[in-house]
Structure 1
Amino acid sequence: MSRSTDWNVLIQGYLSLMWCQDSIAPENQDKKLSVLLGEFQNKNEGITPLNIGSLLSSAYICFMYPQQTEFENLNFESISADNFSIIYGRDGDAKYRCRRIRNSLAHARFQVSKEMFIFEDQDPRGNDKFKATIKACHFGDFLNNFFHECKNQYFNR
């Protein structure tokens, strides 16, 4: 699967970090949120702080940062992965879907657009293929569920 880098996704993700920096700048402390958002969007061609790039950044920190053993110990029963549409491959439970999404991210076998995330995975020999899609708005909800389970694991140690 050969894909070229969508630099727009990278730029949007980085601009999300710039939003955080701009928001806490001393010269902006007395500005209303609506003014800050307007200034940010005007300066950045209408891009909002929560965008496709920030979703992808969140996916990487949630799925790629945890060590494999920590990932495997999550309570996947509390994570809803029902909004994924399985295009091909085994359907599986939330743990299975999350493992396949993690592999897809790790091997850069995914595509993103404003409306949709497409994740693909396969074993090293090119077998056991898996492909799933999810609308971007549902992917944000999925990431929130995943994050809250990670937070629960941390605080329940």
Structure 2
Amino acid sequence: MQTSTNWNVLIQGFLSLIWCQESINPKNQGKQVVELLSEFRAKNEGINPLNIGSMLSAAYLCFMYPQQSEFKKMDFSAVDVSHFNVVQGSSADSKYICRRIRNSLAHARFEITDNGFVFYDVRPDGSDEFKAEIKIEFFGDFLNNFFFEAKSQHFHRGVA
């Protein structure tokens, strides 16, 4: 498990926000996307706007920003968790896995590997250990699935 800040991930995530800012800058309105991307990569050591840092930012936004009470209201049955490889703990259902991912993010118990993410969770007394792995490309799909399901449920509850 990662024990210190991975500054590369932090930098990539923030550069994703810079990309958004540059994309809407009026001085760039006449440029094509391919030109903007080329300039962005040239200024930023070849980093793409969608990267591991932007994915982690999205994970925090989806899982950590909602209050626990809102998170508990959600029906997770439509959230696809089939690409998670649960190494330790139960793979009982999507609600269980989403709750454990939320805890992992909340306590910074995860690592980013060359292939993807590894999430860890454990109770304060050291029991009920959980470890799940997912490849990077599948984690992006999982985040999109989670986001759109949460959005749909929010608006179907009549909350604006």
Matched, 1:141 2:125: no
The aligned counterpart of 1:104 is 104
Distance 1:152 1:115 in 2: 30
Matched, 1:47 2:53: no
Distance 2:76 2:14 in 1: 30
Moved over 2 A (4+): none
Tell me, which stretches of 5 or more residues in structure 2 are unaligned? none
Q: Is the 8 A contact 1:110 1:119 kept in 2?
A: yes
The aligned counterpart of 1:73 is 73
C-alpha distance after superposition, 1:33-72 (max 9, x if no partner): 0000010011101100000000000000000011111111
Distance 1:74 1:38 in 2: 41
One-letter amino acid matched to 1:96? Y
Tell me, which stretches of 5 or more residues in structure 1 are unaligned? none
Per the normalisation by structure 2, the TM-score is: 0.95
Q: Is the 8 A contact 1:119 1:133 kept in 2?
A: yes
The aligned counterpart of 1:152 is 152
> In angstroms, what is the RMSD of aligned CA positions?
1.1
The aligned counterpart of 2:123 is 123
Q: Secondary structure at the match of 1:133?
A: strand
One-letter amino acid matched to 1:90? S
One-letter amino acid matched to 2:95? K
How far has the Cα of 1:154 moved from its partner? 2.2
Q: Is the 8 A contact 2:2 2:111 kept in 1?
A: no
Q: Is the 8 A contact 1:74 1:149 kept in 2?
A: no
Q: Is the 8 A contact 2:41 2:48 kept in 1?
A: yes
One-letter amino acid matched to 1:36? L
Q: Secondary structure at the match of 2:77?
A: helix
Q: Is the 8 A contact 2:2 2:110 kept in 1?
A: no
Distance 1:88 1:130 in 2: 5
Q: How many residues align?
A: 157
The aligned counterpart of 1:31 is 31
One-letter amino acid matched to 1:119? F
Per the normalisation by structure 1, the TM-score is: 0.97
Query: Equivalent pairs: percent with the same residue?
Result: 59
Q: Secondary structure at the match of 1:79?
A: coil
Q: Is the 8 A contact 1:52 1:114 kept in 2?
A: no
How far has the Cα of 1:6 moved from its partner? 0.5
Q: Is the 8 A contact 1:52 1:113 kept in 2?
A: no
